[in-house]
Structure 1
Amino acid sequence: MQAISLNLILEIWFHISKKRKRQFTFLIFCTLLSAILESLTVALIFPFIQALSDPNTLIDNQYVYSLNLFFNINNPNYFILPLTIILGSSSAFSGLINIFKIWFTEHLTALITSDISKECFKKVISQSYINFSKKNSSYFSSTIINEIRETQTVIFCTLRVISAFLLLFAVFATLLLLSFRLTIYSIFFVLVFYFFTGYFVNNSLLRNSRLITFSNKMLIKKLQESFGNIKDIILYSNQKNFLEDFSLIEKKLRNREAQNRFLGLFTKYLIESIGIIIISAITCYLLLDDSGNKNFAPILGVLAFGSLKVISPIQQIYNNWAFIKSREAGLKAVLEVLNLPIKRNIYKKQKLPFKNHDNNFIEIKNLQYRYSKNEKNILDIKNIKIKKGETIGIIGSTGSGKSTLIDLIMGLLIPNKGNIFVNGKDIFSSEKFLETWQKSISHVPQEIYLFDSSIKNNITCTSLKKEFQKDYFNEVLEIAMLKNFIASKEKNIETLIGERGSILSGGQRQRLGIARALYRNSEVLIFDEATSALDFKTESKIIKNINNFRKNLTIIMVAHRLNTLKNCDKVIKLDKGLIQTIFNKNEFNDLFSKGLI
């Protein structure tokens, strides 16, 4: 393996837990034991063939002579049985060790890959909203699904390469003891063959590796676009265009994979043919070199048997090297995710900054935000102050900055200038404070993302029974006006709602999203067009229920329908990123009733 592949594998090694490294050490021990038994089997072939062809020649063998003294065997013919037993036992035990080694290699590969996959997913979901948004979701999806599978192949191939090296070394050492010169010639030829083959196919493997990784990401992206746009595809009869794009990517991907498999396997059949030629040449050499001496048969038998034992691990090394090279780009993608920093603790519970404090408030001062340095500000807010327990409405035309302001308040976007204070402390003053602030918030967007699971799991966002608060759950259903709907279902709260809530109406999905937000029991509730699919009567009832739900609940509502905001303590009107007006409750209702807003 070249340096770049080795460096990538070593980098993966540093991400493996100590427990897996101990298991790897045990695998190396099993491999060493297997290699010793394989070399013993090769070494026993020589005296075994001698015993079969001419037992009298065994007397000259120093190892057999020692065995003779130990067992007091006088007749050379009597050596055949013990040699057969020893050879058979060695071979059988070696076979059992190899079977266990293969199972344990697969098992350890699965465990390591599972650990890496979990760590990658943890890194992705622990990123900030800004960092996550910089990548297309298909990139992360492809890395965790496809590239992790490629990494699993790399790990398995690496373990097999190590095993093959140890076996090759043991068998090679044994063959050198039996016939030094012929072994050197044979091994030299085989190594030169594989070296030059690897040199010539290296660039093709790397090029295919990059194209395979890119194609996998494009396939995921194309699938997401197709499934997300399925209504328009059906209405516009656009299936052909999407199918052609998919087929083009798919064909290129499968062709590159086929090329890599061929480059990894073709040498096996070529070297087998060459091996027969070499054995034939050695036979001729022995006949000419030892004319009239029939003792070359055992040596030839050992070399023939040993060559199988040597060529097999060399082919295994080359084949696995080719697989590793062909998956190098995927391995890089996995390492890129593994090396992402985690700035927040996803397990530890923090004390919330907006809870159990006197004079709680949110204050925005001189806030500016733009997408890039070369663009003008899309938001420029001088001052907003929100007290705990207030309900604040935000209105404005499309593109006025409403959703951007909400994202800034939630800490999902970082302002270019200015501050957002909670109880006098800037939410961006530290990662820890930002994290605890975000845990104080429940957010209900216009488009609710629902799991393909039960109503209960979608509201609680968990399938763990021990975390289920039944009484509070029922209260939330009452507030969101879901009681009657759920009661009409045969499986009640265990009713499956389909992918993205496919069996629900738009209003039911929004009510489910509201119930989810309330179940979190947060201090701040943010609605971003969260009731747009509800009729006026249902919307008014739910808003009233929420206001009666908790007196100290702070609510921030973005809405296009102005009557949604009639119970707000303040209504902020934005225009082109600026605050045009801040109405108090009476001013807003008076102007609304007169149709002046």
Structure 2
Amino acid sequence: MIVPIVQMGMSADYSGPLESLKPLLAQFSSDSLILAVSLGFLSLFLLKNAVILATIYLVTHFTLYSAAAFRKELFELYLTQPYSYHLQRNSAEMLRNLTNGIGAAFDGLRLGLNLLLDLVLSAAAFTILVIVEPVLTISLTVGVGGAGVAFYMIVGPLIQRWGKQAFHLEAQVIKAINFGLGAIKDIKILNAEAHTSHLLNTLSISQARILTRSVVANQTPRLFVELLIIVALLSVAAALISSDKPLESILAMAGTFALAALRLMPSMNRIISSTTELRQRTALVEDLHKDLIEGRRLQEYTTKDEGAPALPFTDRFQIANVTFQYPGSAVSAIEDINLTIKRGESIGLVGGSGAGKTTMVDLILGLLKPNIGTMTVDGIDIQPNLRSWQKDVGYVPQDIFIVDDTLRRNIALGKNDEDIDPERMQQALRIAQLDDVVANLPEGLDTVLGEHGARLSGGQRQRVGIARALYPNPQILILDEATSALDSQTESSIAAAMESLMGEKTMVIIAHRLATVRHCDFLVYMEQGRIAAMGRFDDLVKSNAGFAKLVQLGSLVSGEKES
């Protein structure tokens, strides 16, 4: 639309692009034609803005909702990976990928879609210029485009390398922050604030240095192409002046190229910026793609499996010839284990540090998969039925994770409010000796406990963990040092409550104190990943020197705590 307006304003000689319309245009006055064309131009401009606004909305909506869907899929993949995957993977990397990583990657998708739009608009402007002046337009395009591509080939690899370095440094920064905030008590006691702050600052400075280089490098192709376009415009002006065309045609042509350059410059800048930023994010996309492909390959189950019914447990749980070795380890953590636990029995796992007790529990829980051997419940292998098996099991770890949410939701973890069973909740509270705690909280079960259970004592957090394990009413209850943080009176009360469950629940207890395991049907004494002996407490003291030494040295004491 610009070309005819400029040409009609300069002369009534309808030549060039307007020559084919000369018979029609000659019937109207110059003023009316200019008015009509101007109104047409305004209408097209308004239409163009509406299309651009709609495109921005559609592109933004598509990229943000795609990012949300991908974040959900990747998070579910992380959650459904084998437990051994999480033992080897740094959580800071996963946190980075799920937050800034996905945001930056899908912002790259937005850049790519906008890049396509700018390419279409630029192609339209280029087509008009080719129609107006084909030889000059193509010559300038080849010259400017070739120089720009050559420059980008030099700068591009640097941008990609610095982007990769900045991406990996971001994970280190998150790791340092997690360390500083997670170990705050130790840091304060050890007077390590300055060291911890310096560690983060060193990483942040390195990241800032890399990002500065990257940002500057991102801008250089744009500035270089701008320079080339200015040179091209000057070349056009020189070429037109030296030609034998009429002054009106020269001015119209020069105006057309100048207006086209003004229109193309922002698009070219966005095209170049988008291209360089996309290259900068290559490492990020590669890392996310790797996690996605690897995650799908290693995935043990999907969230759809959560609806599977619990495995029937009417007779026995059996461990047969089980050996397990952690990835990267030269020795087996568990070797040639054979153990049968009948329904309703309670067993105590005892042994020195590193004997394999926790690994044994992780195997029973289905968190680890044996390298050799099988684990079955009523003859059914638990590995192909992990979701169903784990519905049979309640677990109380040494360290209880408390969500920054209400006590009710912490106990019924993973349940929606409307699905929480009040009777089960009250039973879990009673057995875990939490009734008094609930009564003293300002909003009872609906009191928010704070980050890491800041409103609770160590013993109270431990009891929340016990209530959490009891709430689903599991058939098997596994306690890993579950009463270690309790005072003697509370421990005695909970031990009595646990004793009342013996026979009703199958129980596996790791303990260092006799009070916790003295009433078990039998103890399993472990040494160096093997079962060294099994039997009642008094019998093991007499028959096994290693177990007797543990008792003598105080690794298994009467349950009395120092005040």
Does the pair score TM above 0.5?
yes
Residue identity matched to 2:492: S
- Tell me the distance in 2 between the aligned counterparts of 1:367 and 1:60: 85
- Tell me the distance in 2 between the aligned counterparts of 1:579 and 1:78: 102
1:210 to 158, 164, 177: 164
Residue identity matched to 1:397: G
**C-alpha displacement of 1:315:** 2.5
Whether 1:199 and 2:199 are equivalent positions in the alignment is: no
What is residue 235 of structure 2 aligned with on the other side? 281
- For the residue of structure 1 that corresponds to 2:303, the secondary structure is coil
**C-alpha displacement of 1:588:** 7.1
Q: Where do residues 98-247 of structure 1 align in structure 2 (5 Å cutoff)? A: 98-247=52-201
Contact 2:346 2:502 in 1 (8 A): no
**C-alpha displacement of 1:78:** 2.0
What is residue 333 of structure 2 aligned with on the other side? 378
- Tell me the distance in 2 between the aligned counterparts of 1:64 and 1:373: 80
**C-alpha displacement of 1:388:** 0.9
Q: Where do residues 145-544 of structure 1 align in structure 2 (5 Å cutoff)? A: 145-290=99-244, 292-339=246-293, 340-341=295-296, 342-348=299-305, 349-355=307-313, 358=314, 360-371=315-326, 375-428=330-383, 430=384, 433-462=385-414, 464-544=416-496
Contact 2:144 2:232 in 1 (8 A): no
**C-alpha displacement of 1:382:** 4.4
2:9 to 48, 52, 55: 52
- For the residue of structure 2 that corresponds to 1:453, the secondary structure is coil
- For the residue of structure 1 that corresponds to 2:195, the secondary structure is helix
- Tell me the distance in 2 between the aligned counterparts of 1:262 and 1:66: 55
TM-superposition CA deviations, 1:159-215 (whole Å, max 9, x none): 112112222222211221111112112222221132012101122112112211210
- Tell me the distance in 1 between the aligned counterparts of 2:12 and 2:502: 98
Q: Where do residues 18-29 of structure 1 align in structure 2 (5 Å cutoff)? A: none
TM-superposition CA deviations, 1:341-360 (whole Å, max 9, x none): 233121331122234xx4x2
Which of 306-315 and 484-493 deviates more? Answer: 306-315
**C-alpha displacement of 1:329:** 0.8
Compute the RMSD of aligned alpha carbons: 2.5
Which of 384-393 and 56-65 deviates more? Answer: 56-65
What is residue 37 of structure 1 aligned with on the other side? none
- For the residue of structure 2 that corresponds to 1:57, the secondary structure is coil
Q: Which runs of 5+ in 2 are unaligned?
A: 557-563
Residue identity matched to 1:68: L
Structure 1 residues 451, 374: CA separation in 2 closer, same or farther (over 3 Å shift)? closer
- Tell me the distance in 1 between the aligned counterparts of 2:64 and 2:21: 45
Structure 1 residues 534, 66: CA separation in 2 closer, same or farther (over 3 Å shift)? farther
Structure 1 residues 76, 196: CA separation in 2 closer, same or farther (over 3 Å shift)? same
Residue identity matched to 1:167: L
- Tell me the distance in 2 between the aligned counterparts of 1:196 and 1:65: 44
TM-superposition CA deviations, 1:234-254 (whole Å, max 9, x none): 112112222222111111212
Structure 1 residues 66, 456: CA separation in 2 closer, same or farther (over 3 Å shift)? farther
Structure 1 residues 545, 189: CA separation in 2 closer, same or farther (over 3 Å shift)? same
Aligned length: 544
TM-superposition CA deviations, 1:443-476 (whole Å, max 9, x none): 1111011111111111111462221212221221
- Tell me the distance in 2 between the aligned counterparts of 1:478 and 1:575: 36
- Tell me the distance in 2 between the aligned counterparts of 1:507 and 1:153: 46
- Tell me the distance in 1 between the aligned counterparts of 2:285 and 2:153: 21
- Tell me the distance in 2 between the aligned counterparts of 1:550 and 1:332: 53
Whether 1:559 and 2:511 are equivalent positions in the alignment is: yes
Structure 1 residues 150, 421: CA separation in 2 closer, same or farther (over 3 Å shift)? same
- For the residue of structure 1 that corresponds to 2:45, the secondary structure is helix
- Tell me the distance in 1 between the aligned counterparts of 2:486 and 2:362: 23
Whether 1:76 and 2:15 are equivalent positions in the alignment is: no
TM-score of the superposition, structure 1-length normalised?
Answer: 0.86
Whether 1:61 and 2:13 are equivalent positions in the alignment is: no
Q: Which runs of 5+ in 1 are unaligned?
A: 1-43
- Tell me the distance in 2 between the aligned counterparts of 1:76 and 1:206: 55
**C-alpha displacement of 1:485:** 0.9
Residue identity matched to 1:561: R
Contact 2:347 2:509 in 1 (8 A): yes
- Tell me the distance in 1 between the aligned counterparts of 2:252 and 2:420: 75
Residue identity matched to 1:156: R
Contact 1:378 1:576 in 2 (8 A): yes
**C-alpha displacement of 1:589:** 10
Contact 2:152 2:221 in 1 (8 A): no
Residue identity matched to 1:508: Q
